[in-house]
Structure 1
Amino acid sequence: MGVVDDSLADLPEPDRGCLQHVVGIARAVARDTTEGMSYGMPALKLDGKPLVGVVAAAKHLSIFPFSPAVVEAVAPRLEGFSLSKGTIRFTAAHPLPDDVVEEIVRLRTAEIRK
């Protein structure tokens, strides 16, 4: 296991399963990722650069695409979710739609590889 898998293993359900699902989607879209740390959080990396990070906080889960432009691009599809410049917050009871996670990973991959 790696940094991301290890950090998720310690979370209680249903948060663990929800974040594992997000990470699984990211790995399926960007198949050649590695695990590591970025900005102090566990993250999937692509070509040595942070692709997405996932974190569980006390009252929400977060995905960090490490790109304000990516958050802005998917924001219209995330009504009802809490957004900031660098993160999208959600819960296991109100998870991110799979197609939005896929789009986040595709957009971030394009940024990394441009």
Structure 2
Amino acid sequence: MTEVDAYLDELSPAEAEVIRGYYARALTLVPEAVPGRKYGMACLTYRDRGLVAIIRTEAGFSLFPFGSEPVALARPLLDGLPTTRGGVQFTADRGVPDAAYDGMVRWTRDHIDRTLGPTR
């Protein structure tokens, strides 16, 4: 069982399904991503770096693309969803727009590639 699977097992089926959908979308964007744990959160990793984490919160969910820059760049596409320096807050009824989510995941992947250099 992966870290992500273990985390999802702790949630209600409806909550787990919301998060599972975001992880599935990330895997279509970055098929090389794998489940892991970074900064105490179950997440998807890419090249052993955090790619994206989605957690349940009291108010709904929070998405963390492991950096403040992807959130800042996506802010105009978030339709007013609340943000923190490194995260986006959303609910099951008011999710993260696809363009914003895709942009954050791709930016994080590209940043990891720029930082680590070409893969071998």
Checking the alignment, whether the CA contact within 8 Å between 2:54 and 2:64 is kept in structure 1 is yes
Q: Which has the higher contact order (CA 8 A, sep 6+)?
A: 1
Cα displacement (A) at 1:89: 0.6
Structure 1 residues 6-15 or 33-42, which shifts more?
A: 6-15
Q: Which position in structure 2 is the counterpart of 1:5?
A: 5
Q: Which position in structure 2 is the counterpart of 1:99?
A: 99
Q: TM-score, with normalisation over the residues of structure 2? A: 0.89
Runs of 4+ that moved beyond 6 A:
none
Return the alpha-carbon distance in structure 2 between the equivalents of residues 28 and 48 of structure 1. Answer: 18
The one-letter code sitting in structure 1 at the alignment partner of 2:113 is R
Return the alpha-carbon distance in structure 1 between the equivalents of residues 77 and 99 of structure 2. Answer: 10
Return the alpha-carbon distance in structure 1 between the equivalents of residues 106 and 40 of structure 2. Answer: 23
Q: TM-score, with normalisation over the residues of structure 1? A: 0.93
Checking the alignment, whether the CA contact within 8 Å between 2:52 and 2:64 is kept in structure 1 is yes
What whole-Å deviation, never above 9, does each CA across 1:32-78 have from its counterpart, x for those lacking one? 11211111111111001111111101122011001101000000111
Greater CA radius of gyration, 1 or 2?
Answer: 2
Residue-pair matches, total: 114
Cα displacement (A) at 1:104: 1.2
CA RMSD of aligned residues (A): 1.2
Q: Which position in structure 2 is the counterpart of 1:44?
A: 44
Tell me the secondary structure at the aligned position of residue 93 of structure 2: coil
What whole-Å deviation, never above 9, does each CA across 1:15-35 have from its counterpart, x for those lacking one? 221111111111110001121
Q: Which position in structure 2 is the counterpart of 1:31?
A: 31
Checking the alignment, whether the CA contact within 8 Å between 2:77 and 2:99 is kept in structure 1 is no
Checking the alignment, whether the CA contact within 8 Å between 2:61 and 2:91 is kept in structure 1 is yes
% identical equivalent positions: 26
Query: Structure 2: which 5+ residue stretches go unaligned?
Result: 115-120
